[in-house]
Amino acid sequence: MKVRVAVQLKGGILDPQGKAVEQGLHGFGFSVDKVRVGRLIEFEVPASDAETAKAQAQAMCDKLLVNPVMEKAVIEVVS
Amino acid sequence: MKVRVAVQLKGGILDPQGKAVEQGLHGFGFSVDKVRVGRLIEFEVPASDAETAKAQAQAMCDKLLVNPVMEKAVIEVVS
């Protein structure tokens, strides 16, 4: 099954990449605020149902994909 | 309004970051395939309706956020 993991910095954590993008957009004349840049990780797991796929993805987040001190992840089973 | 832009490399483009994550996950014993790592950009725009917000986000993608040669973007108006 295809799984999508969206990883973002937690609310209180400074996001320099987001600030840089925000300044770039302002430079182009765009009105934009609160820009945050995160990671989007997509992959396929050999699971037969969505619940198993989600559990596998959660284990991957805990082991490697997410830094739980600074980041939060949202797991979504796509298909 | 809050907008989310998901940027991924196009299908045929090699994704070294995804390959590295895939190898890392294999090292931890996970069965996983076709790992792709992209960017997730969230921001707020001063638009009164979703259509305007989406148009603004599309303009930002064209100007700065997305490399149309190698990347594809999906724009989603969250709220």
Find the chain A residues whose C-beta atoms sit closer than 8 A to any C-beta of B: 6-8, 18, 21-22, 24-25, 28, 30-46, 56, 59-60, 63-65
pLDDT of residue B63: 96
pLDDT of residue B53: 97
B33-44: strand order across its sheet: A71-77, A2-9, A33-44, B33-44, B2-9, B71-77
pTM of the model: 0.93
pLDDT of residue A55: 97
Domains of chain A: which residue ranges? 2-77
Chain B residues within 8 A of A42 when measuring between CB atoms: 8, 34-36, 38
For residue B8, the SS3 value is strand
**pLDDT digits over A38-48, tens only?**
999 999 999 99
Pure H helices in A1-79: 16-27, 50-60
- In chain B, the residue whose alpha carbon lies closest to the alpha carbon of A58 is B30
Topology of the domain comprising A2-77: Mth169; Chain: A , (3.30.1280)
CA angle A12, B79, B62 (to 5 degrees): 85
> Tens place of pLDDT for every residue, chain A, 79 residues?
999 999 999 999 999 999 999 999 999 999 999 999 999 999 999 999 999 999 999 999 999 999 999 999 999 999 8
- In chain B, the residue whose alpha carbon lies closest to the alpha carbon of A32 is B45
Chain B residues within 8 A of A33 when measuring between CB atoms: 43-46
pLDDT of residue B20: 98
Structure ipTM? 0.92
